[in-house]
Amino acid sequence: MNSLFKPVGRITRRMYLVMFIIFYFINILCLMIIWDSFQSQSWAIFYGAGVALVASICILLVQAIKRLHDIGLDWKYALYLLIPPPVNFIGFIWLAAKKGQEGENEYGPDPRKTDVI
């Protein structure tokens, strides 16, 4: 399995869905913490949760790029996922549902043969 932070290689739909659920939950949790700390004016927690939110979004984008590679598309299509909801949510779900290319493509070997999950 490739690194979590490197946007190279390919991942399966199952691995992408697991990562999507984990990091989308983290995003929601960070947003709730940000809102609560804004209401109570706890600025250290506010900025800390903001940094965690940005990091979580970046990791989600890296996983989306890997999934786009599995489908056979370039990383540039991941920029559409930066459009606010519901467009980005629909894009993330499409990535989880779209079948990847069979065999090796220009982005690496078939992840179904190398993936642990």
Q: What is the pLDDT of residue 117?
A: 54
Cross-strand pairs, 108: 105
Decide: 9 and 107 in contact? Cβ < 8 Å: yes
Please identify which residue in the block is written with the tokens 């996922």: 81
Alpha helices of 13-102 — where are they, by DSSP H? Answer: 13-40, 43-71, 87-97
Q: What is the pLDDT of residue 32?
A: 97
Q: What is the pLDDT of residue 61?
A: 93
Using one digit for the tens of pLDDT, what is the confidence trace for 84-110? 888 888 998 899 999 998 888 998 888
How far are the Cα atoms of 9, 20, 36, 89, 105 from residue 112, in angstroms, in the given order?
A: 12, 18, 42, 25, 13
Rounded CA separation 19/38 (Å)? 28
Give 116's pLDDT tier (boundaries 50, 70, 90). low
Rounded CA separation 57/45 (Å)? 18
How far are the Cα atoms of 1, 11, 15, 105 from residue 114, in angstroms, in the given order?
A: 7, 9, 12, 14
